[in-house]
Structure 1
């Protein structure tokens, strides 16, 4: 926890330091000139890929500021140093900061975006532009193992048993990034009990809904898979300190795991570090029941802080064009454009398949995206870390599920949800 806190603190400090010397009432950085400041959560390859996207505009009148996990700090007091454009990874950030936002420029909103999300609508003006869409219901696997993609949850459990019997560890899990655990659970709930998922995602649900039979069943399914002896690469102790990119490397570089449940943006890690980037494929997170339940998605949305300058509006207009994300799609990968007009020939075959799945299926935002309050240490992520520790210590899946349900009720009561 201390290392994670320190990493976030350093990112936030690095983001704010260049802004501290700005004179009040102006947007000028000494020696640089007027810049449109863009706050993002992305780092490393994704940060560089976004800079390539902006460079495609041909005008270097911007500065990209890495806020890391502290993106909410970008909506602080209205000073000259506050970012002009913010890329937020959860729709909850938009709802929470609507009073600090300016509407999108005229002509930017495409009605096809409504299928993704149209929650930030005041009158006839939209306040958030979907930019990067992510297919969250994805499991990556190694082709060299001749895996037959499971069609149901029971098929997946049977596949894991077969792999373990053959001396192969089924799963890598990046539990240090709590959103990985949250998305795993959200997929189980959505793909098995979609009605219960929708009820929990509603803004006015009762906290006791977390103790329902369906939610308890989803927690138990997760506990049973994570708690199976030999299921996790390095065991639970390793999974709890392993971050998202390292979990992908467990599968694609070190080959200590057969699969990793990870959104489409895992492709950028595979492209950079896998000896054979073509040696992997994906299957859709298997449903736990009959029917064709929705897919889980997330989306990075672009917003303008108030008051919006003309330069910031021009930048949003550019990022809304179909061609803007092409450098990221083509050169880095792991990007599905929210813009329906972006040419799919720039995608890899795998990403084209995942983008097509989002276009053709019913979709839902994850619980943390929908509610905004379940992603912190006292929310869903923390509860799932405790569940993982519990099953590793020998707690039975049924009891681990009951404990998780009670903990989520307590978490909602603490936060006043």
Structure 2
């Protein structure tokens, strides 16, 4: 969530971003279709079918025997996301004989790792959710470079862009095992049907849709404001579409200040939703007490009278929808984040596996996580998106997820990574501080655009050191 950190799209042109938006929008438009099992012939995406069959057999990745070896893997994942990842680790255990323990981590993860390292008990591998955190781990001397086998697997399965965002100063440290399309708005299909509205394609259409949903008796939006990262994602989508990719890259590197007029415009636009108390479930105070999982489940619980009709967040929302009785593609559908400017935004995110304790076993795990075999296991479980281009699209359990995955792979290197994830963690990834806190305060008082900008700039200057 630096001017020296690894980023993708630093000098990308508007033309390339437009092409990416078109590709991802085309994939996301299929979200309106009912999820089904058809068209799974495997001819539409995988190369060589490494991930197309049963992930328990027919492996293409070579792993050493590690009988008697033990490993710890740390990540901030909880709930179904954690349980599904543990199944991937279990298969690694079966193939190598190693014993792997999952260690629940807390945000900010760099602070968590610092305490573990100070106590002499660092995990062997950590899943870092920000490129900024990867650089911090390298700068602190914690991260270890990927070995030859992991690099080989990475080179065979990932586009250059996804390889590069796991690198620092040309050395590769991270395997981006998990990706996210963070430019989707999910909606309760029954609410939309009852209100007589269709999927909006522009911001103005979204505002009209929200008004119609409100008039039908349902609060338009659910916002997980207790988790500040959801608010940064809202801002990034509005800003990328409205200000454009070049400004986005400049703000991500703090080459322009948060007091810039482009930020003023984006916050003012956000206030068109956040500033309408009746448009947010529970109002601002309620949203600030709502954690992300609850923001999803309350949108798809209660049939045609849920607490809200829409919720913004990435493809991983499906994991939380699965906790309700709603079916993705039928009761729960999604549309691309509407265009605020001339082009719809496309923001991506992800989690990188980084080795802290260099060993044969840790390098083998990084190699495993870079393989289509590992990604295919979790893809079949749903609520997961891999940037691995050799995962057969048929591994994804429904048309919704399949379309998002195919669009991500088709985009290649043309994507914008989550802005806050590129920032120093003190600014873009710490609960109660920096951007998270400033946007929570803005949600509480959307009229204070100028004050919010001043606070954002003060916090950013301190974190970036400029």
The equivalent of 2:437 in structure 1 is 382
8 A Cα contact 1:89 1:301, kept in partner: yes
Matched, 1:169 2:223: no
Q: How does 1:249-264 map to 2 (within 5 A)?
A: 249-254=297-302, 255-264=306-315
Relative to structure 1, the CA distance from residue 197 to residue 365 in structure 2 (aligned partners, 3 Å threshold; closer, same or farther) is same
Relative to structure 1, the CA distance from residue 193 to residue 116 in structure 2 (aligned partners, 3 Å threshold; closer, same or farther) is farther
Matched, 1:105 2:153: no
Q: Give the alignment's TM-score, normalised by structure 1.
A: 0.84
Which SS does the other structure have where 1:37 is aligned? strand
The equivalent of 1:369 in structure 2 is 421
1:73-104 per-position Cα deviation (integer Å, ceiling 9, x unaligned):
22553776211111111111110111222111
Tell me which of the two structures has the higher relative contact order, counting C-alpha pairs closer than 8 angstroms and 6 or more residues apart. Answer: 2
The equivalent of 1:69 in structure 2 is 107
Q: In structure 2, what is the Cα distance between the partners aligned to 1:177 and 1:349?
A: 29
Q: In structure 2, what is the Cα distance between the partners aligned to 1:79 and 1:233?
A: 43
Q: CA deviation at 1:205?
A: 1.4
Relative to structure 1, the CA distance from residue 119 to residue 280 in structure 2 (aligned partners, 3 Å threshold; closer, same or farther) is closer
The equivalent of 1:311 in structure 2 is 361
What is the aligned counterpart of 2:240 among 179, 190, 199?
A: 190
Q: How does 1:22-33 map to 2 (within 5 A)?
A: none
Show structure 2 runs of 5+ residues with no match. 1-66
Which SS does the other structure have where 1:139 is aligned? strand
Relative to structure 1, the CA distance from residue 286 to residue 38 in structure 2 (aligned partners, 3 Å threshold; closer, same or farther) is same
Q: Give the alignment's TM-score, normalised by structure 2.
A: 0.76
Q: How does 1:74-89 map to 2 (within 5 A)?
A: 74-75=113-114, 76-77=116-117, 81-89=121-129
Show structure 1 runs of 5+ residues with no match. 1-31
The equivalent of 2:406 in structure 1 is 356
Q: Once superposed, what is the RMSD of the aligned Cα atoms?
A: 2.1
Q: CA deviation at 1:359?
A: 3.1
The equivalent of 1:239 in structure 2 is 287
8 A Cα contact 1:172 1:248, kept in partner: yes
The equivalent of 1:38 in structure 2 is 73
Matched, 1:286 2:286: no
Q: In structure 1, what is the Cα distance between the partners aligned to 2:179 and 2:98?
A: 26
Q: In structure 1, what is the Cα distance between the partners aligned to 2:85 and 2:145?
A: 23
1:351-406 per-position Cα deviation (integer Å, ceiling 9, x unaligned):
11222332344321122111133233331111111111113xxx4xxxx2222111
Q: CA deviation at 1:273?
A: 1.7
1:198-231 per-position Cα deviation (integer Å, ceiling 9, x unaligned):
11012x514xx21222111000111121112421
Moved more, 106-115 or 129-138: 106-115
The equivalent of 1:4 in structure 2 is none
